[in-house]
Amino acid sequence: MTRLGQNFLRDPNLARVAVDRAQLRPDDVALEVGPGRGILTAPLAEAVATVQAIEIDRGLEGDLAPVLAAHPNVRLTWGDAMQVPLADLDPAPTAFVANLPYNVATPLILTSIADLPGVDRWCVMVQREIADRLFAAPSTPAYGAVSVLMQLACERTDLHPVGRAVFDPPPRVDSALVAFRRRADWPRDTWEPLARLVHAGFRHRRKTLANNLAMAGLAERDAAERILEDLGHDRRIRAEAIAPTGWPVLLDAITVA
Ligand code: SAM
């Protein structure tokens, strides 16, 4: 895999599949991180009102020029999508469709959930392992902080496994196109402490949840154990045994205690 995750799609049909599964509307503003050579950008631009594309690699300017010329509704921002303030994009995105650079896929998805409240549909190509982690069930090895946050905010609508041969160059891992939609709007002043709590809870997977919360300074260990028992859990429960819906309840109890 290249440093910038430049595994370009070879097959325009697969780009169309991504656009179809995103359930787009003609008035959508689609965010595409990493348009690359534009294989996905072109069908996306035909399906929506505006494409907000963000590309880090200026070396792709020549490849993108004809796509931009043919589709004046594509707005291209050069830069690192992890640094570009997504909330300042105007018009604001309403959907997120991309073949994501794999090294930043998870943080970009979480940032888009928090910073782009107008986005309510995603259809993204990611590493298969990441796709599985996003919607993993409690008490499975793939279940972690990201699974909790994703499932509190979104529900999966589609999962389409994709082999390596459809990319140029082929990556060393399998991929999947995963689609999901927003199921709940979390106010920022709840979401941020919730995200801190969840990340702290999973920090050391072999430690108990109470220990992890104590190590993060979120509660004394004894107090955390009492709170967990009051909520009907074993005092030595690990984070992975708590379902997504259990975390906002825990946040309430910890804030109140
Ligand atoms: N959409 C194209 C396709 O499907 O063929 C390219 C996808 S390729 C997997 C990922 C793209 O993201 C590349 O064009 C790469 O240069 C770009 N990229 C990598 N890191 C980025 C970042 N932090 N911000 C914006 N673009 C990035």
Q: What is the pLDDT of residue 140?
A: 97
Nearest Cα residue to atom 14 of ligand 1: 36
Nearest Cα residue to atom 20 of ligand 1: 4
Nearest Cα residue to atom 2 of ligand 1: 36
**Per-residue pLDDT at 112 exceeds 90:** yes
Q: What is the pLDDT of residue 256?
A: 63
Give every CB contact of residue 148 below 8 A, 6+ residues apart in sequence. 198, 202, 242, 244, 247
Rounded mean pLDDT, 37-54? 98
35 C-alpha to center of ligand 1: Å? 6
**Per-residue pLDDT at 1 exceeds 50:** no
108 C-alpha to center of ligand 1: Å? 12
178 C-alpha to center of ligand 1: Å? 17
Identify which of 1, 6, 9 to mutate to test ligand 1's pocket (most ligand atoms within 8 A of the CB). 6
- Mean pLDDT computed over every residue of the chain: 96
33 C-alpha to center of ligand 1: Å? 6
Which is the closest atom of ligand 1 to the Cα of 84? 24
Percent of the chain scoring above 70 in pLDDT:
98
Q: What is the pLDDT of residues 163-200, one digit of tens each?
A: 999 999 999 999 999 999 999 999 999 999 999 999 99
Phi, psi for residue 4 in degrees, rounded to 5 = -95, 15
Q: What is the pLDDT of residues 60-95, one digit of tens each?
A: 999 999 999 999 999 999 999 999 999 999 999 999
Residue 20 and residue 9: Cα distance in Å, rounded?
16
Which is the closest atom of ligand 1 to the Cα of 103? 20
Which is the closest atom of ligand 1 to the Cα of 102? 9
Using alpha carbons, list the distances in angstroms from residue 180 to 125, 204, 226.
12, 28, 36
Which is the closest atom of ligand 1 to the Cα of 54? 25
Q: What is the pLDDT of residue 255?
A: 83
173 C-alpha to center of ligand 1: Å? 17
Provide the 10 A C-beta neighbour count for residue 45. 24
pTM equals 0.95
103 C-alpha to center of ligand 1: Å? 10
Ligand 1 is surrounded, with C-beta below 6 A, by 4-9, 33-37, 39-40, 54-57, 80-82, 99, 101, 104
Identify which of 3, 32, 51, 56 to mutate to test ligand 1's pocket (most ligand atoms within 8 A of the CB). 56
